[in-house]
Amino acid sequence: MQCHVYASERSQDTYLWLDDPQRVDMLPESLHALLGELRLVIELDLQPDRTLPRQDAATVLANLRTQGWHLQLPPGEAAD
Domains of the chain: 2-72 (3.10.510.20)
What's residue 78's pLDDT? Answer: 61
Instruction: Tell me the pLDDT band of 39, cut-offs 50, 70 and 90.
Output: very high
Name the DSSP class of 19. S
* pLDDT > 90? residue 59: yes
Report the C-alpha gap between 53 and 80 in whole angstroms: 22
Please tell me the pTM assigned to this model.
Answer: 0.87
DSSP label of 73: P
